[in-house]
Amino acid sequence: MIVLVINAGSSSVKFTCFEMISDPKVLANGLIERIGLDGTLMKYSNHKGDEAKREVTVKNAEEGVKIIAQKLVDSKIGVLKSLTEVKAIGHRVVSGGEYFSDPVVVDARVKEFIDKCSVYAPLHNPHHLLGINACEATFPGVTNVAVFDTAFHIAGIQPHAYLYAIPYELYTEQKIRRYGAHGTSHDYVSRKAAELLGKPRQNVRAIVCHLGNGASISAVAGGKCQDTSMGLTPLEGVIMGTRSGDIDPAIVWTVMKLKNLSPVEADNFFNKKSGMLALAGIGSSDLRDIEAEHKKGNKQCTQALETYAYRIKKYIGSYLAALGGADIVAFTAGIGENSATMRALILKGLDDLGIKLDAAKNSERSGEARFISTNNSPIKIAVIPTDEEQEIAKQTLALAIVK
């Protein structure tokens, strides 16, 4: 049984082709990047170790999906005999608004709702729709499933955690509220955290720190999300690679006035030119570069790392209060899985709250889910590699089978 996972963005289409055995196996993955620009690049690799990387001419997502399909059945590096082997296609969709608290089989009505939700994710949802349309054209008759980044949060978070203190009709009429993002990852990692603890998910309170270029923290109890740091859009919350995270909203109009920015330019400023890129001041938002500069003695980078860690520490503290305690703090995504330095900085000084890091375990390198807390730590700490693609594939297959 083959399931394809597609993540269609503004200038790229990423894909993973899974064989859905009990532990889904990646047969091939890759992406087409810089779509519609000069130097459009296709990168493809398969489970046998074959790789292909070449410039292609791709004007839009539909052409991108066609090229991916050709590669999958390519006589040399393909992994399928025929495209009819594809049972279903799962699409990552950033926003499902309040409409979707679960994945859903795509039909014309679902597409209308995804389109409506473009107001919350203008940089993403329109491109997801192009990806879905492209797959419908390239894989006729195959079930397409939309898996929403917001669904896990929508299903769990209650009004006291999702309402903003602005006129209520902005919620009732315009649905301005907190939606969160990275839901598939928070769902997956909190489930794995319960497995690691050897407890039923129902009895577990977890604080999940998804720290990648985009970053969000969630408080999960009984398998339901209780709160999450991202808001109406992914701009709210902790400091990210290029996003400011939480700031006084007055900064927005102050900067707009000072720099003479339009709303679109301001959106770009706080989403693309802020965060660690701005704080560290070395022209890179990549934590590896900032850590390297810090080690060389760059004080601004040291300060950026400390500021980043401090904000996350405050979220952990507030979610401990929101959950009335926790069983586990889990780290995931690029930074959460790989930066022992950052994990240590975030958790420094939390011993008295019952969160005790084991320095040696924290420094061990492993791609496996594992504890990094001391044996006597009342609240366990874990590193749990996320796998959003695999989770989307599983949820997609579950729906395609019952369809």
- Residues near ligand ADP, by CB under 6 A: 212-214, 241, 286-288, 291, 333-335, 338-339
Q: Which is nearer to ligand ADP, 103 or 385 (CB)?
A: 385
For residues 253-288, one letter each, b for 16 or more C-beta atoms within 10 angstroms of the residue's C-beta and e for the rest, the string is: eebeeeeebeeeeebebbbeebbbbbbbebebbbbe
User: Rounded to an integer, what distance in angstroms lies between the CA atom of residue 37 and that of residue 59?
Assistant: 8
Which residue's entry shows tokens 């690799």? Answer: 45
CB of 345 to ligand ADP, least distance (A): 12
CB of 359 to ligand ADP, least distance (A): 17
CB of 8 to ligand ADP, least distance (A): 15
Say what the alpha-carbon torsion angle 120, 121, 122, 128 is, to the nearest 10 degrees: -140
Strand ranges in 98-204 using DSSP code E only, listed in sequence order? 104-105, 143-148
Q: Which is nearer to ligand ADP, 327 or 388 (CB)?
A: 388
Q: Is 149 a catalytic residue?
A: yes
- Active-site residue identified among 23, 115, 149, 387: 149
* Structure tokens belonging to residue 38: 């000069």
CB 153 within 8 A of CB 179: yes
Q: Which is nearer to ligand ADP, 138 or 233 (CB)?
A: 233
CB of 293 to ligand ADP, least distance (A): 12
Alpha-carbon distances of 174 from 113, 180, 224, 243, rounded to whole Å:
14, 17, 25, 24
Q: Which is nearer to ligand ADP, 78 or 214 (CB)?
A: 214
Active centre residues (catalytic) = 149
